[in-house]
Structure 1
Amino acid sequence: MGGGFYISKFVGVVGIVFGAGAVATVIALAVVYSQEVAKNEAVSPTNGGSTIKPPVTTPGGSTVKPQITTPVIPTTAPSNEPWDKYRLPDTLKPDHYNLTLWPRLTVNAQDLYIFTGKSYVVFQCVKETDLILIHSNKLNYTKWGDDHLAKLSALGSTPAPTIKKSWLQPTTQFLVLELNGKLAVGESYQLDTVFVGELADDLGGFYRSVYTEEGEEKVVATTQMQPTDARKAFPCFDEPAMKAIFHITLLHPPMTKCCIMILIKTSYCPVWRTSFDKTKKMSTYLLAFIVSDYDYINSTNDNLNVQIRIYARKKAIADGQGEYALSKTGPILKFFEKYYNATYPLPKSDQIALPDFNAGAMENWGLITYRETALLYDPKMSSNSNKERIATIIAHELAHMWFGNLVTLRWWNDLWLNEGFASYVEYLGANEAEPDWNIKDLIVLGDVHRVFAVDALASSHPLSSREEDIQKPEQISELFDAISYSKGASVLRMLSDFLSEEVFSTGLSVCTVYYHIINIILSNTVLQVAVNSTGTSLPTGQTVHSIMNRWVLQMGFPVVTINTTTGLINQQHFLLDPSTAGSVPPSDFKYEWIVPIRWMKTGVVQQQTWLEDKTAHKPDMIVTGNNWILANLNVSGYYRVNYDNTNWERLLGVLSSHHESIPVINRAQLVDDAFNLARAKYINTTLALRTTKYLRSEREYMPWESALDNLDFFYLMFDRSEIYGIMQTYLKYQIEPLFKHFGNITGNWTEVPTGHMDQYNQANAIRVACSTGMEECQTLTKGWYSQWMKDSANNPIHPNLRTTVYCSAIAAGGAAEWEFGWDQFKAATIAIEADKLRSALACTKQPWLLNKYLEYTLDANKIRKQDATSTIVYIASNVVGQSLAWDFMRDRWNYIFTQYGGGSFSFSNLINGVTKRFSTEFELKQLKQFQADNSEVGFGSGTLAVSQSIERTTANIKWVAENKDSVQTWFTTEVPKE
């Protein structure tokens, strides 16, 4: 321990960087900051109060000139030069980085937050070249003594060639160094840089997160590198296969602490400097470093010999909000060690909750970052679904510690392997943490049904893209969609089911131990060995490789139609709008799949069969009389099932008379398949609607949730028409027994149901009963909310019901209810509670309040940037707010796109969410005009979403025209007479 004030050579260099004079600095940083944030045009950082030092010598011996460069952009037309391509050439391979960063947690004279950095990377030349390309985005560089943006040194006996020319290539995000000679194959070199960037609030790269604690505004300097933002923090070879070791040092103010992936070295100065042990060899996108004044709680799991820490705001830690995550991390880690048959590869597991974070969480190796809502739990404020989300997200991220981090993608075109796998096994890990929840079943609602809606469009895409088709950062970001996550999870679950979980995990354990690059699915050699060694049955002549290629390399999925009269079964590519078949890209497999079929006959499970061709004859599937067939048991396969009309009638009869004969998951499946088959014109829409009639007798969550999800489409299509009223009356009639059931078993709403899914269904009962106008329900929710308004310190509403009750009361109320909700949102001390209020505020029926709320999304002091797009979608989900949100998004697209970043994962959700109700020619015309008007601005990661929205709107127009009359007649007939 010692006092004093430590300044390294780097601090001196930084002093030079910022002491060059305000004019030069303003000019130098204008390019970066105009790109970064429109409001910061033509301003730049000063020295932030540091004493200006004289020129100093860098570690390589060169004197740094007191000036910062601006990007030198070649004025020639676009060419086929290496720097005009987005991928790195295969000439250099990084070995290790030495990086020192100094984030400023207070603004400078120009009202900007900045960070400064010094870095060198040691790399080896693997192919002769006279060019160095290294990724760099929105960084400005100090010129070295030779007047270039970097310094090159040789580490071997052969001298390094001198730099001929250096510049920044903003479009492809490269720092380019042309050399006067060739780098020698096998030789190692060192590239030194000194740079400055903005510690912006854009949620990417090295950025700032701001929160208020005890009246004081505090800043966290944190990171989000995935997929291509490490280059915003320091110059690097920013591709996943370019693994290297990192040596990190952070300079930071007193009273703050630092986190990074690997254990802290003992060389820690509590005033200025923290150095960290070297990392494992790893990809740039998995790097993380954070400066904050957070507290943490910790434990050491004796069975793992791993230190586990949960970091969060001091008050959150003091209030015990990290305890649940801490208690579940150890058991989940232990489960994955057994599942992979591989020891957790690091000595510690840190997890940190951030106020501002664009994704749900990020699997940085050993330092996992989360939104606060995804990690912090308070039993007084958090709902059952909040707890489930925390358990599953922790499991998802911990699964990556092996599969994704230890074993890594070569390129982003196979992102689905990484994210699809974690999205599947998150249910297994969460099931280990909470075995009473039966959570593994929920993958059907959360992933399978969710992604069916996207993958049934002609504008969908395969799981695995061609490498040459995924080049630009926005193309990479676009892959972080439901296909990669949810279809990936669904297909891997199917593979695990027909191989058996034991064979599947055996193959993975071998892969994790021996592979450094993921290729297990497309080559399938490891899994095939496991299959052969266990005698697992596959169709004659087929391998894991031949089966999986059809599910991975072509988009979409089949509908399997079973004729129980003839025993014939066939498959066809399922499209929500069959007329779009002509626009589907050609497939080498001609949209045929090798389909595993688990099935039952009149309640008795049968032996699995396979459909290998377009059509097959299965005599066992012929039934007569009251016998019936149900296929795709537990929805283990990634396909829909259709039947002949006779079998459909038998199944409807079973639902109405003794629905328990059909497994719960398959009751949800029958509803979902029927509604979607009707949209695709395989069956009548009225047949689909008939699957909801039995719901008066249904008490289970999954069938109800499936029905409500599908009826939501009818609301989207008809809630602006005369059909809306009779739909409301019908659904009010159907929900009444469920509402009364939960009132009875909870002591008139004073208790919580025991079962995990019963708690979900209780919330469904209140939501639907209130939204359909049941007076008893509305009186209940308005009474609870009114009681809270009278005594804001004592909220009488159970956390499980708050989202529903808040929405119902605000929808039924006026300005007073909305303003109270807004005040409570601002005062919320836990993000989970704030999120409930944020969604509920969009439920008001007052257009002027919704317009005000939309304006709030542009002010990060009111709605955090991470929440802006989802708030707009919440408002668009309200029939009153839909047109307001659409006009708002169109009018401000340039601003939204600039502020929130074209590569943001949320852009596809924004576009799809705001346009999901579109079903008229006028709306289609507006949507196409929106696409044309913003072609120059672009849509970034939402580009595909625009095409999907146009396709979906076109299909909606046709569907409404073809079904409106029959739907109106059916609801009119089925509404009970008074």
Structure 2
Amino acid sequence: MGVFKIITVFAVIFVVTTPLPLRTKRTVTTLTDPLEDSIENLDQGRLANIEAYSASDNDNKRDLRNSETSSRNNLREGLLASRYEVKLTPNFADGTFAGVARISVILNSGVADPIKFHFVDLKVGTVRTITGTTSTEVTNVKVNDGVLEINTGAELSLYTFEIEYSGTLEGAGIGFYRGTYESETYVAMNLHPTNARRVFPCIDEPNVQTTISFTFAGVNTYTNVIANSKRLATQPTEGELQFEPLSGAPYLWGMMAHNLSPANLPASNVVLYTRPTRNSGDLQTSVAINNYFNFFNNFTAKPYDSIIANQQGGMHIMALPDVDRDWYALSTIAVWEPYIVIEVSAAARQKQIGFVKIAEAMSKQWFGYVLGPSNWRYQWVITGLGRYAAFEAARRLESNPADAARIDMDAAFVTDVIQESLLDDSYTNALPLEPDADLFNENAIRNNINGLQKTKAAAIMRMLSLVLSQNSEIDYVRNAAQTLFNTATLTDINSRNFYDTLSTTWNQATNLIGNLRDFVQPWVLNNNYPVIRIDLRQGSGVIVTQERFGFANRPQMNFMIPLSFTTSVNPDFNNIYPSQVMQTTATLTMDLTDDDWVIFNIQGQGYYRVNYETALWNRIISALEDETRRNQIHPINRAVLLDDALNLARSGRIEYSIALRIVLTMNLETEYVVWKAFMRNMNILRNHLQSLVDDNDNLDSNIYVRLIGRVTNAAETNLTFSPDPNLTEPAMRSLARGLIMETVCKANYQPCVAAAVDLFRDPNDANAINGNIPADIRPAVYCANIMSGGEEERNLLIAHLAKINNQYERVVILESLACSTDQDYIRSYLDQATIATSPYNSEEKTRIFKAVIESNYKNARVALNFLIQNTARTIEALGGPEKLEEVLYTLSRNFANGGMVTEYKNWVSSLYSNLESSRLIAERYRDFIDQDMQWNDAHLNNIYTWIDQNDAPSFMLSMMLLCISLMVALFNH
């Protein structure tokens, strides 16, 4: 067995048999794990031994390896914290909490070295070692750079520490915090991803398995107190609630003490809690939750109630009015109220967002708690599987095409996941899904898991599932997930064991690819993605080549690209499965006449862009310009063509004349998915063109409005800007109208603004808001009136805000107030959002900032200047660096001129910026902005000229004058 293992066994026996009571009036021993389990965990750990692997694709110029650290934790080699017993006592009067942590420690090496724990934003009090009934104070204790170091002066391999400390109750949804709504409060604990260290001293790394129990004092006044595990059957101390110990990593624990009311019981042992005043009986949410609960039980083959012994048992879903954060704790699920309190009459937009958010939140009980990453470097596997499964759940929920209320989740996945990811992944410094080294720094972890990963990981999983199976009834990604759930429950996942499991379940059932890892790793280990080019081949057919896509030049590398295509000869946009996988180039035989088009990447399921030679672009544009032929092309592929063309032009791969000709075909378009692609890509043009004409009196200030007038014909005629509120229509039609009106009203397109003004006021009371504005166009109507009006319109909307009790509608109003063109008001609005007595909750403040930035480039500059002057105050008001980084991301997409860029760069590079831990991410966004300004310098004047010369009214006027001249000539003749 070996001397080391013998020592280890005796160490564990000592720990297990030593009682570890917290300092309460009574003592309870809660160590109940079997000795065999403890030895097994200690001997094997959660850390897999990973072999080096070299892929065959040498074009990548990268050693495609998957390695892990050799030690159990990065904080202190040889240190194992085998057990924690933590007691937390909040002090609501002064917004603090007191903590006592009992920690059992085993040292496998370096017994003379200091013991270390992560310890952030906490103040250490007394540290003692406990031996039997004897406690000894340790005086050689220091806190340095977020680490608590304890030097006992002894050389022992076993310790039990009792550490007294204190912290602050934040209101931001992280750590141990206090939330508010109306006149009520709640207390919660959210430790993901690295916030356990803000609640108790610990080794806060995802691969470190331990046993933890929590006791909460002073929360008994709340109606509901729920945590991961069951409460002890008999509570040892009056006024305290102690919960059963559970094994797992520290970040997986959560707790919620609240007075929210049970709104519904969507499924057996599933409870939805809402504010008592929002307890509505017609919630659509209940149907969704019930469907999702059954879906995830089947999808994972891991019944929810059997995840782990001593789990709480029920699924408790809380609708939080003030916080929107990722939540991975077992048994408690916290979802921002606008995502989950969805009534029958709710906007289709709220349903589209909410149904997905609910599915994602529920998926984390399995993908995040049951399966977690061995290091945050591998979080892409968990995020990808979880979000992929969530969209599958939402797709099943909304699967009836005959249902008028149906939300097209296929379109939502392409627009909100794949195309959003392709845009962000086009920048030179976009992050790869899997970094090339393990992540331990908090800022690097946040940078990795909160950005591109949230979209790209799911997009790659979707593409992978289509490559591995040509049968819609067989999903090997799902099968691999089921295998992991049944063989690796509560163990750590990395890319190696994901690849191995998927390879085993797939077993080369299809022959599109040979080695699964060779296919996946170039997409995962590198940023950017490929663009394929389609050229006509002499004789018949096409030649397909590839290059790496980015907004700037990138080193060439090859991807294995799944190809799907159809032609106008026999169009089939329903078969989304690839017919082959291209490794370098491909030659495809097909019979095309001079007018026939070919379109690749059916329904945009592949994670790549498609470029065509000019002759093929012209054929596609000819089809798009003809209403009958246009409708032969699937709406999602029309969106893909528009999205690809504008980004290909942005990167200099095609002329803007091609892309803008496709834009002009929007005059025939009414589908949501195509308009979403238009909005995403034209936003940068709107801001930059408006800034261009504002700085030059010789240019037409209405240049962008002229373009909007050219493309809204079908939307204005068929959808109308003034729908009948008494008519029921398909949800996707309502969703499309809302998006189109918001887009064109913000551009100051007067027919849209005029319709919005007509709808704004109550027909019977000019001093009140019209209560019958259809839900999906309220954002556009409110924004247009605030934008075109003044203080009177703002006061009307603010008065309306005080009357409503719908959190989604409340956010719509707060975001609409940000549309004001009164920059003094905008400054005061941001000021009001950040003062200590602000009337807005944490998440509302973030939404206000983002809405101000997105309203127009001038307001974005006001927000930038406010951030520069009030950085620390804004970080505190928003709830920490993570929320500031959300705002910075939005800001990076809305720069319009060099002056703004200079201000931003000076701020980010200043030693006194107060950006602190957000500096790393702010610098990455600075590089995004630089690339956008390079585009501005290279293309903006040409874009202006093209729009000016191809404006429809000017063209029609010219044609009318020409006809008059001809008629005069004929008359004279």
Q: TM-score, normalised by structure 1?
A: 0.82
Partner of 2:548: 573
Q: Which residues in structure 2 correspond to 1:259-270 (within 5 Å)?
A: 259-267=226-234
In 2: Cα distance, 1:442 partner to 1:175 partner: 46
In 1: Cα distance, 2:487 partner to 2:73 partner: 30
Whether 1:545 aligns to 2:517 is: yes
Q: Which residues in structure 2 correspond to 1:420-499 (within 5 Å)?
A: 420-435=384-399, 436-468=406-438, 470-499=439-468
In 1: Cα distance, 2:366 partner to 2:820 partner: 46
In 2: Cα distance, 1:705 partner to 1:270 partner: 57
Cα deviations across residues 597-652 of structure 1 (Å, max 9, x unaligned)?
111132445883545444x2414267442222111111111111101111111111
Whether 1:844 aligns to 2:820 is: yes
Whether 1:140 aligns to 2:123 is: yes
Q: Which residues in structure 2 correspond to 1:532-611 (within 5 Å)?
A: 532=507, 535-539=509-513, 542-565=514-537, 567-578=542-553, 581=554, 591-602=557-568, 603-605=570-572, 608-610=578-580
Cα deviations across residues 738-769 of structure 1 (Å, max 9, x unaligned)?
1221249x964542422x32121121343345
Partner of 2:613: 644
Partner of 2:153: 180
The residue type equivalent to 1:535 in the other structure is A
Partner of 1:587: none
User: Which of 937, 950, 969 lines up with 2:946 in the alignment?
Assistant: 969
In 2: Cα distance, 1:497 partner to 1:222 partner: 41
In 2: Cα distance, 1:821 partner to 1:934 partner: 41
Partner of 2:929: 952
In 1: Cα distance, 2:175 partner to 2:707 partner: 51
Deviation at 1:142, TM superposition (A): 3.3
In 2: Cα distance, 1:385 partner to 1:544 partner: 38
In 2: Cα distance, 1:432 partner to 1:895 partner: 44
SS in 1 for 2:151: strand
Partner of 2:671: 700
Deviation at 1:815, TM superposition (A): 0.3
User: Which of 163, 177, 190 lines up with 2:160 in the alignment?
Assistant: 190
Deviation at 1:690, TM superposition (A): 0.7
Q: Sort the Cα spacing of 1:202 and 1:701 in 2 relative to 1 into closer, same or farther, 3 A.
A: closer
Q: Sort the Cα spacing of 1:136 and 1:407 in 2 relative to 1 into closer, same or farther, 3 A.
A: same
Q: Sort the Cα spacing of 1:253 and 1:568 in 2 relative to 1 into closer, same or farther, 3 A.
A: closer
Q: Sort the Cα spacing of 1:906 and 1:198 in 2 relative to 1 into closer, same or farther, 3 A.
A: closer
Deviation at 1:373, TM superposition (A): 1.8
Q: Sort the Cα spacing of 1:388 and 1:228 in 2 relative to 1 into closer, same or farther, 3 A.
A: same
Partner of 1:511: 484
Whether 1:887 aligns to 2:865 is: yes
The residue type equivalent to 1:465 in the other structure is P
Partner of 2:342: 377
Deviates more, 1:963-972 or 1:499-508: 963-972
In 2: Cα distance, 1:968 partner to 1:726 partner: 10
In 2: Cα distance, 1:635 partner to 1:765 partner: 22
Quote the RMSD (CA, aligned, Å): 3.1
User: Which of 521, 530, 545 lines up with 2:505 in the alignment?
Assistant: 530
Cα deviations across residues 254-273 of structure 1 (Å, max 9, x unaligned)?
54131212344444699833
SS in 2 for 1:342: coil
The residue type equivalent to 2:205 in the other structure is E
User: Which of 300, 303, 307 lines up with 1:343 in the alignment?
Assistant: 303
SS in 1 for 2:152: strand
Partner of 1:98: 85
Deviation at 1:198, TM superposition (A): 1.7
In 1: Cα distance, 2:106 partner to 2:23 partner: 27
SS in 1 for 2:373: coil
Contact 1:403–1:512 at 8 Å: present in 2 too? Answer: no
Partner of 1:248: 214
Q: Sort the Cα spacing of 1:325 and 1:473 in 2 relative to 1 into closer, same or farther, 3 A.
A: same
In 2: Cα distance, 1:913 partner to 1:140 partner: 35
Deviation at 1:154, TM superposition (A): 7.3
In 1: Cα distance, 2:441 partner to 2:254 partner: 23
User: Which of 279, 288, 296 lines up with 2:254 in the alignment?
Assistant: 288
Contact 1:557–1:574 at 8 Å: present in 2 too? Answer: yes
Q: Sort the Cα spacing of 1:891 and 1:689 in 2 relative to 1 into closer, same or farther, 3 A.
A: same
Contact 1:203–1:357 at 8 Å: present in 2 too? Answer: yes
Q: Sort the Cα spacing of 1:752 and 1:267 in 2 relative to 1 into closer, same or farther, 3 A.
A: farther
Whether 1:739 aligns to 2:716 is: yes
In 2: Cα distance, 1:558 partner to 1:960 partner: 25
In 2: Cα distance, 1:769 partner to 1:525 partner: 50
Partner of 1:76: none
Q: Which residues in structure 2 correspond to 1:719-738 (within 5 Å)?
A: 719-720=690-691, 721=693, 722=699, 724-738=701-715
Cα deviations across residues 402-445 of structure 1 (Å, max 9, x unaligned)?
22211111111122222232222221111233324231331111
The residue type equivalent to 1:760 in the other structure is L
Structure 1: gaps of 5 or more residues: 1-9, 15-55, 61-81, 144-148, 585-589
In 2: Cα distance, 1:973 partner to 1:936 partner: 45
Deviation at 1:250, TM superposition (A): 1.8
Q: Sort the Cα spacing of 1:86 and 1:928 in 2 relative to 1 into closer, same or farther, 3 A.
A: farther
Identity of aligned residues (%): 18
Structure 2: gaps of 5 or more residues: 1-19, 30-68, 400-405, 694-698, 958-973
Q: Which residues in structure 2 correspond to 1:267-346 (within 5 Å)?
A: 267=234, 272-279=239-246, 281-299=247-265, 301=267, 306-317=268-279, 319-320=280-281, 323-344=283-304, 345=307
Q: Sort the Cα spacing of 1:350 and 1:434 in 2 relative to 1 into closer, same or farther, 3 A.
A: same
Partner of 2:4: none
SS in 2 for 1:753: coil
Q: Sort the Cα spacing of 1:794 and 1:453 in 2 relative to 1 into closer, same or farther, 3 A.
A: closer
Q: Sort the Cα spacing of 1:741 and 1:298 in 2 relative to 1 into closer, same or farther, 3 A.
A: closer
Deviation at 1:208, TM superposition (A): 1.2
Q: Sort the Cα spacing of 1:799 and 1:919 in 2 relative to 1 into closer, same or farther, 3 A.
A: closer
Deviation at 1:165, TM superposition (A): 5.2
In 1: Cα distance, 2:302 partner to 2:498 partner: 22
Contact 2:417–2:458 at 8 Å: present in 1 too? Answer: yes
Contact 2:263–2:281 at 8 Å: present in 1 too? Answer: no
In 1: Cα distance, 2:132 partner to 2:620 partner: 75
In 2: Cα distance, 1:958 partner to 1:620 partner: 37
SS in 1 for 2:484: helix
Contact 1:564–1:629 at 8 Å: present in 2 too? Answer: no
Contact 2:786–2:794 at 8 Å: present in 1 too? Answer: yes
| Aligned pairs, number | 857
User: Which of 137, 151, 171 lines up with 2:129 in the alignment?
Assistant: 151
User: Which of 891, 897, 911 lines up with 1:914 in the alignment?
Assistant: 891
SS in 1 for 2:702: helix
Deviation at 1:224, TM superposition (A): 2.2
Q: Sort the Cα spacing of 1:437 and 1:870 in 2 relative to 1 into closer, same or farther, 3 A.
A: closer
Deviates more, 1:786-795 or 1:407-416: 786-795
Q: Sort the Cα spacing of 1:354 and 1:561 in 2 relative to 1 into closer, same or farther, 3 A.
A: same
Contact 1:363–1:369 at 8 Å: present in 2 too? Answer: no
In 2: Cα distance, 1:102 partner to 1:918 partner: 46
Q: Sort the Cα spacing of 1:520 and 1:886 in 2 relative to 1 into closer, same or farther, 3 A.
A: closer
Contact 2:436–2:525 at 8 Å: present in 1 too? Answer: no
Partner of 1:402: 366
Partner of 2:8: none
Partner of 1:71: none
Cα deviations across residues 474-527 of structure 1 (Å, max 9, x unaligned)?
211112333111011111111111113522211111011112221356751111
Q: Sort the Cα spacing of 1:455 and 1:954 in 2 relative to 1 into closer, same or farther, 3 A.
A: closer
In 2: Cα distance, 1:232 partner to 1:817 partner: 44
Q: TM-score, normalised by structure 2?
A: 0.82
Cα deviations across residues 894-951 of structure 1 (Å, max 9, x unaligned)?
433455466x323333223224343444333323212221466345245234333344
Q: Sort the Cα spacing of 1:479 and 1:407 in 2 relative to 1 into closer, same or farther, 3 A.
A: same
SS in 2 for 1:471: coil
